[in-house]
Amino acid sequence: MDANTPAALNRKLSAFVALSEAELGVLDRLQHRRRRFAAGHDLVQQGQAPKSVYLLTSGWVCSYKIQADGTRQIVDFQVAGDFLGLRSLLLRTSDHSFEPVVDSHAAEVSAGDLLAAFGEAPRLAIAMLWAASRDEAMVVEHLVGVGRRDADARMAHFLLELGARLTLVGLGDGDGYDCPLTQTHLADALGLTAIHVNRTLRRLRERGLMTFRDGRVQFEDRQGLVTLAGFDPAYLDQTGPLLA
């Protein structure tokens, strides 16, 4: 299931700012250079000095760092409507890599075009600052998850968060969502082994809370899963626009 970028990004940013037609037009013009990226081939590499950022229009991407021993830590997953590498324009080099999980499409946005858009529509810059702050809040939650939650709660929280993010951009609902991630992806993101991921998913299934099979996450007892994870979506700040 895909979403076109204007719909996905508009829905996401409208969770914070009620954008006008003129501002939506500026946002749409940012997306005129679209490219296809094949699964498994880095879109941006760690240490690269990109002069552009990317806006994911369809597909899934993982952001990750490679450790000295060759192991990989996935920092997060990006879905339609998410920016890739926005921070790199300020840090001058990318501090992690981006790899498409499936064949994906993204709009390349130059730094100059982004600054011009902010000059034309300052509230758009505020909306994107909100999006960047929300991404930072998610990283904090992931750190808490890896450091303090047991495997079952960690998995439940992560899958509920993904569900909330996908629902916001029209790619999921309260019952579940399509998900192309493998158990290896989940292991690298959650600090578990692939075997531990398999056992964790089996326990959640046997408890009647959720299933994850054939590329579909299905919430069987969503409230039970929320209780197990201690999931409070307030950090995602998706309750409605603060700026009219």
pLDDT per position as a tens digit, 59-83: 999 999 888 888 889 999 999 999 8
- Report helix, strand or coil for 8: helix
Q: Where are the chain's structural domains?
A: 5-129, 138-236
pLDDT band (50, 70, 90) for residue 240: low
What pLDDT, on the 0 to 100 scale, is given for residue 66?
A: 85
pLDDT band (50, 70, 90) for residue 2: very low
pLDDT band (50, 70, 90) for residue 1: very low
Assess whether pLDDT exceeds 80 at residue 87. no
Q: Could you tell me the fold of the domain covering 5-129? A: Jelly Rolls (2.60.120)
- Three-state SS sequence of 120-176: HCHHHHHHHHHHHHHHHHHHHHHHHHHHHCCHHHHHHHHHHHHHHHHHHCCCEECCE
Assess whether pLDDT exceeds 50 at residue 3. no
H-type alpha helices, the chain: 5-13, 21-29, 88-91, 111-120, 122-148, 151-168, 183-190, 194-206, 222-229
Domain 138-236 has CATH 1.10.10.10: yes
Higher per-residue pLDDT: 88 or 220: 220
The arithmetic mean of pLDDT across residues 116-145, rounded, is 88
Q: pTM for this structure?
A: 0.90
Q: Percent of the chain scored above 70 by pLDDT?
A: 91
Q: Percent of the chain scored above 90 by pLDDT?
A: 50
Higher per-residue pLDDT: 22 or 51: 22
